[in-house]
Amino acid sequence: MPQNPKDQDNEEQNDPAGSTMMFRKFVDTNDEPAAPPKPPITPYILAAVGVIVAVAIVVAVVMTWS
């Protein structure tokens, strides 16, 4: 319990949601640009799978004819 009556008035007037509302306003007005989108990784995966399939075909042909 507060010793000073002024402290009690400050506690009653302090709105706990007020700081949350100020934080949300700060976040909404933040002008920091969003991070640039990452490049897609799918083409690299498809290229790697294609190389593996091509090597497998070459190995299969060499083993078949030798």
pTM of the full predicted structure?
A: 0.47
Query: Left if phi > 0, otherwise alpha if psi is -120 to 50, otherwise beta: which for 30?
Result: beta
Cα angle, residue 35 at apex, residues 33 and 37 outer, rounded to 5°: 130
Q: What is the mean pLDDT of residues 40-51?
A: 96
Cα–Cα distance for residue pair 40/35, rounded to 1 Å: 15
Contact assessment for residue 37 and residue 46, using Cβ atoms and an 8 Å cutoff: no
pLDDT given at position 1: 47
pLDDT given at position 13: 58
